[in-house]
C-alpha cells in the first residue's frame, strides 16, 4: 500500500501546517486521528491490531507518573530561567467540582488514547515500515507532536521531548501502542488530578 504514502504525508503536513499558524478550538488530535483511522482502514487494519498483546503497560503507567513528577520539579525552574511565569493549569473548570473533574477526565483520557494511536501507531509505524531507523522514526513522531501541540516554542519543545519518550516506549514494547497509551493517560490524568486538588495553578 505504498501508493497511500504520499497522501498520508500530505495529510500530516497539512494538519500540522494549519495548526501551526492558527489556533483552533478543536484539538489537532481530532483531524489527525480521523486521517490515521482512514489510512488504517484502507490498509485493512484496525486499531485493535495496534494494541492487542501490548506488554509493559503497568510499568509504562508508572513511568508516566514519574515523568509528571519530573516535569513539575524540573520544568518550573527551567521555564523561570526565561523570565516567564509558569502556568500548569489547563482545565481550571475542574477545581472544586467532582462532576466536572470526571467529565474532563474522560475527555482527556480519550484524547490521550487517540493521540498515541495517531502519533505512534500511525506516524511512527509508517516511518518504520518505510525503512527509517528506529531513532529516526521516533524523531519523526516527536517532531509531529511538537508541531501539533498548542502554545509557544517552549511548550512545543516540551511536547516533542515527551513524544520522543513515548516513541521509545512504543518501539521497546514491540511496536504495540498499549505502553505509550498507558504512560500518556497516567501523565494526563495525574496532571488533571493535581489541578482538581488545586496543587498546581
Q: Note whether residue 111 is domain-resident.
A: yes
Q: Note whether residue 201 is domain-resident.
A: no
Q: Note whether residue 152 is domain-resident.
A: yes
Q: Note whether residue 40 is domain-resident.
A: yes
| Long-range pairs of 78-83 with CB within 8 A, sequence gap ≥ 24 | 79/154, 82/154
**Global pTM value:** 0.91
Q: How does pLDDT run across 16-68, given as a tens digit for each residue?
A: 888 877 778 888 999 999 999 999 999 899 999 999 999 999 999 999 999 99
Domain containing residue 151: 2-196
Q: Note whether residue 149 is domain-resident.
A: yes
Q: What mean pLDDT, rounded, does the chain reach? A: 88
d(CA 81, CA 96): 32
Q: Note whether residue 132 is domain-resident.
A: yes
Q: How many domains does the chain have?
A: 1
Amino acid at each position: 500500500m505504498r501508493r497511500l504514502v504520499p497522501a498520508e504525508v500530505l495529510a500530516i503536513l497539512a494538519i500540522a501546517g494549519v495548526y501551526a499558524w492558527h489556533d483552533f478550538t478543536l484539538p489537532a488530535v481530532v483531524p489527525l486521528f480521523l486521517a490515521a483511522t482512514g489510512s488504517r482502514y484502507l490498509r485493512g487494519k484496525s486499531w485493535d491490531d495496534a494494541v492487542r498483546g501490548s506488554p509493559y503497560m503497568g510499568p509504562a503507567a508508572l513511568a508516566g507518573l514519574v515523568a509528571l513528577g519530573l516535569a513539575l520539579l524540573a520544568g518550573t525552574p527551567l521555564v523561570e530561567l526565561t523570565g516567564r511565569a509558569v502556568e500548569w493549569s489547563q482545565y481550571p473548570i475542574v477545581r472544586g467540582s467532582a462532576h466536572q473533574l470526571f467529565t474532563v477526565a474522560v475527555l482527556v483520557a480519550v484524547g490521550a488514547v487517540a493521540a498515541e494511536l495517531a502519533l505512534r501507531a500511525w506516524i511512527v509505524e509508517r516511518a518504520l515500515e518505510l525503512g527509517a531507523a528506529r531513532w529516526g522514526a521516533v524523531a519523526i513522531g516527536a517532531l509531529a507532536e511538537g508541531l501539533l501541540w498548542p502554545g509557544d516554542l517552549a511548550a512545543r519543545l516540551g511536547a516533542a521531548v515527551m513524544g520522543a519518550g513515548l516513541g521509545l516506549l512504543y518501539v521497546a514494547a514491540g511496536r504495540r501502542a498499549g505502553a505509550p497509551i498507558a504512560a500518556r493517560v497516567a501523565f494526563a490524568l495525574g496532571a488533571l488530578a493535581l489541578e482538581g486538588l488545586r496543587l498546581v495553578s
